[in-house]
């Protein structure tokens, strides 16, 4: 079975994470989908960035939620990775949805209820988008299910017992479980297969570990280097 390859924050091994250039690199590398993270700006616009603050991946300072969109868009989100990416902006979710269209699936990770509401408001404008919404906040996913019965959902987890996560995911009508890669086991995979849930562990870049989990029967994976995974 072919693995579904999710490019973690884009092709983050080759380009600055969560930028359009990283997403384009992931598509060129043959990724099937792109994982990205969303926070809201001070003026309520969904922007694509992992951290709550901008220091690690831009030349700015401050919390995303305290900066207006115009301020966020002026930041350089590329130079920290390499000089050739200087001036790469923080994307807004609108432009990523428009760019991806129906070519690539988007795994949109959200952290809080405000981002979830903004996402639900935005998605009707992109009917061709193939979206999977994931979160570590399972109550948030349950609230999204109540608001939108057809929204594809993925349950992220890293330490919580998988039996409990699986029960909640099934009750919520989720599509997939996204465990940290060292949480994957034969019993977990067998239970998910019986339940019809896909299993996409994160974040895998080591070839040996990828081969081992592939033999166990994972459905796909999250990786920073989709080109390398595709060669295996």
Q: How far apart are CA 35 and CA 224, in angstroms?
A: 10
Q: Name the catalytic one among 8, 39, 138, 178.
A: 8
Q: What would the two tokens of residue 211 be?
A: 């081969």
Q: Tell me whether the omega of the peptide bond preceding residue 42 falls within 30 degrees of 0, making it cis.
A: no
Told to judge if 39 belongs to the known catalytic residues of this protein, a careful annotator would answer no
**CA 231-4-226 angle, 5° bins:** 40
Cβ contact 209:232 at 8 Å: no
Give catalytic status of residue 50 as yes or no. yes
Helices in the chain by DSSP H: which ranges? Answer: 20-28, 69-73, 93-100, 113-122, 138-147, 162-172, 186-195, 207-216, 226-230
How many other CB atoms are found less than 10 A from the CB of residue 203?
16
Active site residues: 8, 50
């Amino acid at each position: 079975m072919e693995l579904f390859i999710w490019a973690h924050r884009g092709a983050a091994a080759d380009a600055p994470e969560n930028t359009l250039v990283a997403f384009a690199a992931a598509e060129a590398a043959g990724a099937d989908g792109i994982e990205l993270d969303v926070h809201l700006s001070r003026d309520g616009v969904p922007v694509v960035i992992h951290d709550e603050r901008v220091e690690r991946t831009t030349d700015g300072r401050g919390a995303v939620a305290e900066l207006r969109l115009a301020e966020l868009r002026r930041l350089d989100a590329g130079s920290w990775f390499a000089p050739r990416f200087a001036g790469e902006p923080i994307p807004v979710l609108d432009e990523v949805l428009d760019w991806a269209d129906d070519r690539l699936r988007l795994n949109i990770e959200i952290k809080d209820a405000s981002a979830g509401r903004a996402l639900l408001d935005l998605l009707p404008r992109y009917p061709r988008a193939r979206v999977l919404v994931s979160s570590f906040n399972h109550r948030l996913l349950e609230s999204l299910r109540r608001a939108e019965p057809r929204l594809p959902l993925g349950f992220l987890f890293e330490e919580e017992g998988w039996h409990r996560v699986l029960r909640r995911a099934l009750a919520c009508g989720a599509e997939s479980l996204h465990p940290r890669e060292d949480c994957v086991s034969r019993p977990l995979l067998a239970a998910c297969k019986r339940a019809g849930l896909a299993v996409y562990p994160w974040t895998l870049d080591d070839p040996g570990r990828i081969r081992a989990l592939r033999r166990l029967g994972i459905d796909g994976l999250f990786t920073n280097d989709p080109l390398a995974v595709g060669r295996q």
